[in-house]
Structure 1
Amino acid sequence: MDEQKKVIIVEGTTDKRKIQSIINEPIDIICTNGTVGTTKLDELAELLDYRDVYVLVDADDAGEKLRKQLKREFPRAEHLYIDRSYREVATAPSQHLASVLLGADISVFSTFLRSN
């Protein structure tokens, strides 16, 4: 078991629920609910110190703006990307999200993995 606990940062609660239904390991999922102010960033920085941080936001302008902000604040975070054609994490197919998460060594339920 890793000493460092994993954390995924997403935009909204629908994103959080979608990810929670796919992952098969204990991971904290933090919702930014859009943009993040300085106070929230300071709280996050303290909370996320010494943890494996993943960023999974929508493939739209708001998501990209948030991603840039999080890249500055958390340079060690691993950024996960959904296919731009899906635009939103919440509406992306579960199989697609599972493969993105699996690519980051995050355990997912095998029912979401395609058998090729």
Structure 2
Amino acid sequence: MTRELTEKVIIVEGKSDKRKVKSIIREPVEIICTNGTIGLSKLDELIDTLIDKDVYILVDADSAGDKLRRQFKRELPEAEHLYIDKMYREVATAPEHHLATVLIGADIDIYTEYLDRG
């Protein structure tokens, strides 16, 4: 499969995280909400849909986010994990310029004006 055809998927915890990330990204990226925790059967279903896709995990820097991240590391080891600074704690409340920097570091195309806001 060529790189151009590979789809990118970002997994976040909540709808507010999804809205925030979606507003920063310029390229077509599927953003999936886990709505916090995710059961094993639901996770297995999700993993089946992620075959041949570039998967990024972007969750809050808190205990619930850490638990979810560990689950994905175990069940989907090929996913790339993106981290926000612990001082912001939540993806939804992190400044746009910080999220833009995190996303561009993962080679995700963002609206560059978000980099200027820092």
Query: What's the counterpart of residue 20 of structure 2?
Result: 18
- 1:76 equivalent to 2:78? Answer yes
Match of 2:92 among 90, 96, 107: 90
Shift of 1:114: 2.7
Worse overlay, 9-18 or 37-46 = 37-46
CA offset digits 1:68-101 (Å, max 9, x no partner): 0011111000000000000000000000000000
Query: What's the counterpart of residue 53 of structure 1?
Result: 55
User: Which segments of 5 or more consecutive residues in structure 1 lack a partner in the other structure?
Assistant: none
User: Which segments of 5 or more consecutive residues in structure 2 lack a partner in the other structure?
Assistant: none
The 3-state SS of whatever aligns with 1:84 is coil
TM-score, reference length from structure 2: 0.95
Between the aligned partners of 2:117 and 2:20, the Cα distance in structure 1 is 21
Following superposition, which runs of at least 4 residues in structure 1 exceed 4 angstroms of deviation?
none
Shift of 1:115: 7.8
Aligned pairs, how many?
A: 116
Worse overlay, 77-86 or 39-48 = 39-48
Match of 1:30 among 29, 32, 46: 32
Aligned-pair Cα RMSD in Å: 1.3
Between the aligned partners of 1:11 and 1:56, the Cα distance in structure 2 is 8
| 8 Å Cα contact 2:97-2:117 kept in structure 1 | no
Identity percentage over the alignment?
Answer: 63
